[in-house]
Structure 1
Amino acid sequence: MALKCAVLDDYQHVATRFANWTELGDQVELTVFPDHLTGEDGLAQRLAAFDVVVLMRERTPFPAGLLARLPRLKLLVTTGMRNAAVDLEAARAQGVTVCGTESNSAPPAELTWALILGLARHLVPETAALRNSGPWQHTVGTDLQGATLGLLGLGKIGSQVARVGNAFGMEVTAWSSNLTADRAEAAGARLAASKEELLAASDVVSIHLVLSERTRGLLGAGELALMKPTAYLVNTSRAAIVDQAALLDALEQESIAGAGLDVFEEEPLPASSPFRKLPNVLATPHLGYVTERNYGTFFPQVVEDISAFLASSPVRMV
């Protein structure tokens, strides 16, 4: 009997375009869901009949409670090799295999610069004015050359952002709890003496940290108050690294110039969210990893993961 496989949150209707699912033959019966469900009850009902579930990053959480309501589930496949939305311990205890895929760190670094440039040159309000016969040239852009770029996190993504900052002629500083001066220098940055020093000195602060108990709420009201009123905050990592209420207050009070946001505590972002309406926010719907190259890696490797599981030799186990 074929295993029933559900692909969740295929917003762009591309799961079958990027991979050859026919490689699995008649061993797998595929169902693709383009919509997003919230709430454990609805998910449990939708997925009750499936043996395999494919997750796109962290779009749909898989906590222990949901796993317990899916006794038929045998395999979870997530794109990427890290998914904080899956309770791995509960999955193991239930005998569910969890596998992942490779991913490319360049796309989120590229989007970071799209947000920085969009903010600095007021691209959205200027484009909107031009399209709507509004005022011609009504803002003054922020210069990046000679400005200070502060990076919270200098891993694969942060290092790529640093290189572009150097190309723009920016002074690049970086901080994380375990970052050393030598590692910072190798990436083209100067190690800031402290998080506080970085925040106070930077014209652009960009976050490139993994969400953990240590980084959750790393930037609160006190930290945001250290930033210059002319500075921008960019977050393409995880929303919970920044206290969202404090960020909203800073933006509403204009104690910082603006924010470029690709991540939110609730996704999709509710229609009523003030982040959708604030004029000093440039927001994108978690597009950091959404590129042809990444999808061209994700979905073929999902098929590989399922094929290996069927052969009793799972690969890329998370």
Structure 2
Amino acid sequence: MKPHVVVYKKLPEHLVQRLQAEFDLTLFDRITDDNRADFIAALATAHGMIGASLPITNAMLEAAPQLKIVSTISVGVDNFDLDYFRQRGLMLAHTPGVLTEATADTIFALILASARRVVELAEYVKAGRWKGSIGEAQFGVNVHGKTLGLIGMGRIGSAVARRAHHGFGMPILYHNRRPDPEAERELGARYVSKEDLLAQADFVCVMLPLTPQTERMFGAPEFALMKRSAIFINASRGRIVDEAALIAALQDKTIHGAGLDVFEVEPLPLQSPLLKLPNVVALPHIGSATHETRLAMAELAVTNLIAGLRGEPVAHLAV
């Protein structure tokens, strides 16, 4: 009898066929209020789960007594209670590495778009307001040669630092759990305290996972330490930031602007003040959203799942 796998996000057909060769599948393109009960019922006989973009609660997992592995199509694992996985001896696989470059591209796009007011001025042109040579009211700020501050220097932070150093001649400050000798040697990066980074950086980029320790770690005190000319970039997780404090800092011109790919609540509510601020570039959580990267993530997640259910080593375990 084949192991049973519950798929809770739409997969490319060739990956479905790959899974069907070894497992009995129950397929959901996504989980909604209309099919949530069916999803929970399917877990009763599940040995494995694969999907993304859904908080997997302990109650859901309690409904799956035969479960061995969950394979998430993401690098972040904040949709799961890791302590529960450890206590129960469940495997949680994820997809680090394959999304690094695409996410770093997104972060640098936010840096450029925020500094040069790309979105705002593109709309200015489309609205027919471009009547002649632009003046100071439409000027942006330089990126080349400005100081980049990275909070976190993992795979994605290092990829952003490479772009900044080699492409834009930016001095790099970083704050991390530990120093990164390679980044210091190859990119001239300098390890500093969080407070010194906030005070000196022209662009402050957050590159941290969401954990109990990082949740809401950026609030009014942190924004007050930043330069009034500084731009804040977040493409990690929205709940790392106290969004109300960020909005106040932007409205009061405590900081110059923000480029955001993530928010406390997603999708971002239409009534959010962030959508009314001209000094904000807001994207719909597109960090890894390219055809190539999302396919690579799905393929890796499938590989992780198959290895786990075969009893083979899983290359990318979060737990």
Q: Would you call these one fold, judging by a TM-score over 0.5?
A: yes
Report if aligned partners of 1:203, 1:228 keep a CA contact under 8 Å in 2: yes
Q: Deviations over 1:245-291 (max 9, x none)?
A: 21121112222111111112222333333333332211112111222
Distance of 1:37 and 1:261 partners within structure 2? 26
Aligned match of 2:25 in 12, 29, 48?
A: 29
Report if aligned partners of 1:102, 1:297 keep a CA contact under 8 Å in 2: no
Name the aligned partner's letter for residue 46 of structure 1: F
Q: 2:89 matched to 1:90?
A: no
- Residues 1-318 of structure 1: matches in 2 within 5 Å? 5-10=5-10, 15-17=11-13, 19-23=14-18, 24-25=20-21, 27-34=23-30, 37=32, 43=36, 45-50=38-43, 51=46, 52-56=48-52, 59-71=53-65, 73-80=67-74, 82-91=76-85, 93-94=87-88, 96-104=90-98, 105-136=100-131, 137=134, 139-166=138-165, 167-179=167-179, 182-313=181-312, 315-316=314-315, 317-318=317-318
Q: Give ranges in structure 1 of 5+ residues lacking alignment.
A: none
Name the aligned partner's letter for residue 141 of structure 1: G
Name the aligned partner's letter for residue 54 of structure 2: T
Runs of 4+ in structure 1 over 6 Å off: none
Tell me which moved more, 185-194 or 245-254.
Answer: 185-194
Q: Deviations over 1:43-63 (max 9, x none)?
A: 45533214243222xx21123
Total equivalences in the alignment: 307
Cα distance change, pair 129–4 in 1 and its aligned pair in 2 (3 A): farther
Name the aligned partner's letter for residue 103 of structure 1: G
Distance of 1:75 and 1:190 partners within structure 2? 39
Name the aligned partner's letter for residue 28 of structure 2: V
Report if aligned partners of 1:80, 1:103 keep a CA contact under 8 Å in 2: no
SS at match of 1:20: helix
Report if aligned partners of 1:152, 1:175 keep a CA contact under 8 Å in 2: yes
Cα distance change, pair 124–82 in 1 and its aligned pair in 2 (3 A): closer
SS at match of 1:49: helix
Residue 5 of structure 1, CA deviation = 4.0
Distance of 2:249 and 2:26 partners within structure 1? 46
Tell me which moved more, 144-153 or 117-126.
Answer: 144-153
Q: Deviations over 1:190-237 (max 9, x none)?
A: 425421221122211111223333333332211101112221000111
Residue 98 of structure 1, CA deviation = 3.0
Aligned-CA RMSD value: 2.8
SS at match of 1:147: coil
Distance of 1:170 and 1:97 partners within structure 2? 41
Name the aligned partner's letter for residue 112 of structure 1: I
Considering fraction of residues, name the structure with more helix: 2
Q: Deviations over 1:16-49 (max 9, x none)?
A: 25x4321233732342324x648xx974553321
Residue 239 of structure 1, CA deviation = 2.0
Q: Deviations over 1:45-97 (max 9, x none)?
A: 533214243222xx211232332244465542112455122123324555654
